[in-house]
């Protein structure tokens, strides 16, 4: 069985994101980029399924600029077998990515697609859900455990009231939550091996998908600065302030 893992190149999670002075987005010039952390968890999960003998092939896919090749090489170093870059300089919004992935599902016929639950630079949290809808596949989002067998996936997910367990008929779409696993450290020998693994490049036109943006970003701004706290002399003053000044937001 094949597993398809979409991986996105995003601003590294250690970078302090800066809003561009013109408010037209965040500054990505000279900023360190890496694989979206939830996608690392997705690749790790797919590779573990292969190591357990459940999956036979893990295919990593990324849609974006040429440099997304580096993200794919990281996926190959974690253990994916081959990679596909869907190269585009467009601002690829979740619906466009979901359409591209749907076209790849038609071509590759994977039994499982494991995505991150969200890309950390804009927290859209939409692509997996849109993909499942477009492809007409069952979905389990925010997975904290995935067990695959007998044409089914059993997925545990954390919900407000506790843990929920879903049983899905394969093929299916799963999105990862932080607790699913801890991705392995990528070793130098595996980085070297990854350079020799196949990486195919396609264009959105090859998949017959129009990726032009449907949403227009109007403005991006810094969050409001938090005002400084105050020290109170005693509990009585605190209680008084809570009563008269504190607001429910
Ligand atoms: P989002 O809906 O943008 O928050 O992204 C959710 C997940 O969809 C990510 O964690 C990735 O697994 C996948 N994804 C989103 N955009 C891309 C992309 N350009 N290329 C590959 N995968 C993507």
Q: Whose CA is nearest to atom 14 of ligand 1?
A: 8
- Helix or strand (DSSP H, E) at 11: strand 9-11
Ligand 1 center from residue 116 Cα (angstroms): 7
Q: Give Cβ neighbours of residue 100 (< 8 Å, ≥ 6 apart).
A: 63, 86, 92, 204, 207, 209, 211
Residues flanking ligand 1, CB < 6 Å: 6-8, 36, 38-39, 42, 61-64, 92, 94, 97, 115-116, 118-119, 124-128
Q: Whose CA is nearest to atom 6 of ligand 1?
A: 118
For the chain, domain boundaries = 2-244
Ligand 1 center from residue 185 Cα (angstroms): 22
By the 8 A CB rule, do 232 and 238 touch?
A: yes
By the 8 A CB rule, do 10 and 33 touch?
A: yes
What string of pLDDT tens digits covers the 249 residues of the chain? 999 999 999 999 999 888 888 888 888 888 999 999 999 999 999 999 999 999 999 999 999 999 999 999 999 999 999 999 999 999 999 999 999 999 999 999 999 999 999 999 888 999 999 999 999 999 999 999 999 999 999 999 988 888 999 999 999 999 999 999 999 999 999 999 999 999 999 999 999 999 999 998 898 888 888 888 889 999 999 999 899 888 765
Helices (H), ranges, 33-172: 37-51, 68-78, 94-108, 127-135
Mutate to test the pocket of ligand 1, among 4, 5, 36 (most ligand atoms within 8 A of CB): 36
Fold assignment, 2-244: Rossmann fold (3.40.50)
Q: Which atom of ligand 1 lies at the shortest distance from residue 127's CA?
A: 2
SS3 content of the chain, % helix, strand, coil (to 5): 30, 25, 45
C-alpha span between 16 and 104 (Å, rounded): 34
Burial of 57 (0-12, 13-18, 19+ CB in 10 A): middle
The tokens of 167 are what?
């049983």
DSSP state of 111: S
The tokens of 169 are what?
């008929």
């Amino acid at each position: 069985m094949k597993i398809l893992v979409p991986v996105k190149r995003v601003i590294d999670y250690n970078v302090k994101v800066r809003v561009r002075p013109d408010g037209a987005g965040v500054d990505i010039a000279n900023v360190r980029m890496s694989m979206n952390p939830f996608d690392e968890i997705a690749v790790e999960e797919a590779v573990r399924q292969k190591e357990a003998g459940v999956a036979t092939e893990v295919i990593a896919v990324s849609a974006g600029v040429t440099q997304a090749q580096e993200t794919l090489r990281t996926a190959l170093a974690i253990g994916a077998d081959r990679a596909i870059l869907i190269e585009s300089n467009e601002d690829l919004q979740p619906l466009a990515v979901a359409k591209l992935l749907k076209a790849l599902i038609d071509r590759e016929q994977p039994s499982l697609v494991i995505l991150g639950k969200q890309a950390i630079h804009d927290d859209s949290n939409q692509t997996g859900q849109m993909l499942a809808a477009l492809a007409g596949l069952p979905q389990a989002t925010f997975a904290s455990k995935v067990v695959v067998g007998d044409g089914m996936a059993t997925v545990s997910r954390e919900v407000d009231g506790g843990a929920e367990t879903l049983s899905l008929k394969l093929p299916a779409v799963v999105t990862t939550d932080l607790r699913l696993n801890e991705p392995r450290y990528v070793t130098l020998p595996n980085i070297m091996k990854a350079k020799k693994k196949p990486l195919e490049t396609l264009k959105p036109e090859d998949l017959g998908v129009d990726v032009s943006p449907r949403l227009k970003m109007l403005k991006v701004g810094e969050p409001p600065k938090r005002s400084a706290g105050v020290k109170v002399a005693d509990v009585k003053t605190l209680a008084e302030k809570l009563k008269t000044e504190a607001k429910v937001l």
